[in-house]
Amino acid sequence: MYVIGGGPGGLATAQALRARGIRAVVLEKSDRVGASWRRHYDRLHLHTTRRLSSLPGLPMPRRFGRWVSRDDMVRYLEKYAEHHRLEIVTGVEVSRVERTPDGTGWLLHATGGRRLTGRAVVVATGYNHTPRLPDWPGLESYTSGPGEFLHASEYRNPRPYAGRDVLVVGIGNTGAEIAVDLVEGGASRVRLSVRTAPHIVRRSTAGWAAQYTGIAVRRLPVRLVDLLARPLARLSVPNLSAHGLPRPDKGLYTRVREGAIPVQDVGIVNAVRKGAVEIVAAVDGFENGKVVLADGTRVQPDVVIAATGYVRGLEGLVGHLGVLDSRGRPVVHGARTSKDAPGLYFTGFTNPISGMLRELAIDAERIARAIAKADARAGVRADGRHGSRLPA
């Protein structure tokens, strides 16, 4: 069988399958595992604890500290693949997945005209797959003019922006952290464009990680979590209304269920309070070399960095199979498969409050169990002798 994607979700699932004696070939389009992690900005650290971010079968080293850096995360993924002797084929991109003609398995169309068949497929191409840009009017003319424009996926560190006026668009975790990074890196002015004020939480309070709370409340009713979160927010995070960031009207867990993960404070609160990061209205478009904001203001920064998120990019791969919702997300994940696509699994396409890496590890074990049971029912040998083979 095949696992598409050599990131944490794909590697964890391959290991869980291998531990059950099931051969799994990981197909990775880049030349190394953990490609998306290598592209993240330099200062990135996990917002989840080291102990709750390890993948099955190999704890993260203690020397990585509590909040693991991007570089250490890449080292861990490399070590993980080596330690478990995972079968990984790099430089192979899968463009389309469809049923085999006899309906018993899956056919993968891949780089170089390859046609690969397997009895099951796990799609683990990643949550942050394709940069998303809003359809802003005037953007094309702006990018061809004197202003510099980039998506946050292209941002690495603040050095190129020292002494420059920068507008960051979007106050998710990425936008907030890039804004702080720019301030600390010497940008002359940093503005942060906000459409909807986020919930902000401390990454850790008196040693208690926000992730622990996320795990504890994940199965509770949404309204109850919303009620509990309000007084906690008032106690732990100052009111930033005077600085342009009012407390959200919608409850914290309601927003999570809508896809808006709380912003973890790694410096944004102090930066906003001190005026180092200025909060401005949402971007409505671009006109005559300027950025038009929702309140009618026009600004002319040297650089615009769009921290506007990503899309899953699954439409070309599996969109024809009826397994995606209206927003391009898998309708099932983990050990569940669609009744119209048995044997097709998805992992890593949710962003849970309890921590993505933790849930990837749990899903890996569940997917492996489900595949092992399906194999047992079908009488497939554990060595996968009649399973998939990768042609030369």
Global confidence as pTM: 0.91
By C-alpha distance, which of 93, 72, 102 is closest to 26?
93
Tell me what the pLDDT averaged over the chain comes to. Answer: 93
Strands (E), 143-289: 148-151, 165-169, 189-193, 200-202, 204-205, 208-209, 263-265, 277-280, 283-287
Section 207-229 average pLDDT: 94
The pLDDT of residue 387: 42
Q: What is the 3-state secondary structure (H, E, C) of 6-32?
A: CCHHHHHHHHHHHHCCCCCEEEECCCC
The confidence score (pLDDT) of residue 286 equals: 95
Q: Which two tokens stand for residue 33?
A: 């595992």
- In this prediction, residues 77-101 reach a mean pLDDT of 97
- pLDDT on residue 336: 95
Over residues 322-367, the pLDDT tens digits come to 999 999 999 999 999 999 999 999 999 988 889 999 999 999 999 9
Residue 381 is predicted with a pLDDT of 59
* pLDDT for residue 386 is more than 50: no
Q: Note the pLDDT of residue 389.
A: 44
Residue 124: which of 367, 385, 369, 319 has the closest Cα?
367
Q: Residues 214-240: what's their mean pLDDT?
A: 93
Q: What are phi and psi of 3, to 5 degrees?
A: -120, 125
Domains along the chain with CATH numbers: 2-129+312-378 (3.50.50.60), 132-306 (3.50.50.60)
pLDDT tens, position by position, 135-193: 999 998 888 777 899 999 999 999 999 999 999 999 999 999 999 999 999 999 999 99
* pLDDT band at 391; cut points 50, 70, 90: very low
Q: What is the pLDDT of residues 197-212, one digit of tens each?
A: 999 999 998 899 999 9
| Mean pLDDT confidence for 292-301 | 96
Query: Mean pLDDT over residues 83-101, rounded?
Result: 96
What is the pLDDT at residue 392?
34
Q: Could you tell me the end-to-end alpha-carbon distance of the chain, in angstroms, rounded to an integer?
A: 16
* Residue 382 confidence (pLDDT): 53
C-alpha–C-alpha distance, residues 197 and 159, integer Å: 28
